[in-house]
Structure 1
Amino acid sequence: MTADRITLKGLRARGRHGVLPAERELGQEFVIDATLFLDTRPAADTDDVTRTVHYGELAQDLTKVVEGEPVNLIETLAERLAELCLASEVVQAAEITVHKPSAPIPLPFDDVAVTILRSRA
């Protein structure tokens, strides 16, 4: 895996993911961190955005997944986001963190998050 990375942190989107009926009905904010591992030299050598990952388009595509079809688990949501990232041929691996800061936990807490790392290999 290459050491080059493109990182998008703190992307906020509203979704209806969760196992409780209220989570599906009301929805809540999710925060996404995505780190993509790729060789950035072809883009740097040519100064050509088509030879890398356009992070603006990535943000829009990740948001569509979060706002899309509900799932029970943030693990499932993270998997879908990683699959989206790996759909780009230049991406060798993707690390995705899904934060659920408003998770239905009846105690004080800062965050709940699931982080996964997926690669082509």
Structure 2
Amino acid sequence: MDRVTLRGLSARGHHGVFQHEREDGQTFVVDLVLGLDTRPAAADDDLERTVHYGVLAEQVAAVVAGEPVNLIETLAQRIADTCLEHEVVQEVEVTVHKPDAPIAVPFEDVTVTITRSRP
């Protein structure tokens, strides 16, 4: 299976269990690794036969900016579901970064990574 990767997609969302996270929001960063067969697109040099990563990036940003959830695990699942709505995408690895998570000790980043595929 071939891979198309998008790294560092940033969007503002209002996710988290604390009221201030819901009210103030924060930046979330998403990395995607999409599994698909790129041969048909490459053979015909045809965008319609692959995933349009610009469109997908906008859809993922809309999920992050959309309805708040408590857990970044839930956010990652919603993003995976959005990616798998694209017919050519057979598998997706989603990493959601929450670099401004409300943690009392110094840290660099918090991430959740999930992998989902078509049945």
Amino acid across the alignment from 2:31: D
1:1-121 mapped onto 2 (5 Å cutoff): 2=1, 4-121=2-119
The Cα of 1:67 is off from its aligned counterpart by 0.2
Amino acid across the alignment from 1:47: D
Aligned residues: 119
The Cα of 1:101 is off from its aligned counterpart by 0.1
- How far apart are the structure 1 equivalents of 2:29 and 2:56? 14
Instruction: Summarize deviations over 1:76-112 as a string: whole Å, max 9, x none.
Output: 0000000000001111100000000000001100000
Matched-pair identity in %: 66
**Where in structure 2 are there 5+ consecutive unaligned residues?**
none
Amino acid across the alignment from 2:108: D
- How far apart are the structure 1 equivalents of 2:107 and 2:44? 46
Task: Please report the RMSD computed on the Cα atoms of aligned residues, expressed in angstroms.
Answer: 0.4
Amino acid across the alignment from 1:33: D
**Where in structure 1 are there 5+ consecutive unaligned residues?**
none
- How far apart are the structure 2 equivalents of 1:38 and 1:60? 19
- How far apart are the structure 2 equivalents of 1:9 and 1:58? 13
The Cα of 1:24 is off from its aligned counterpart by 0.0
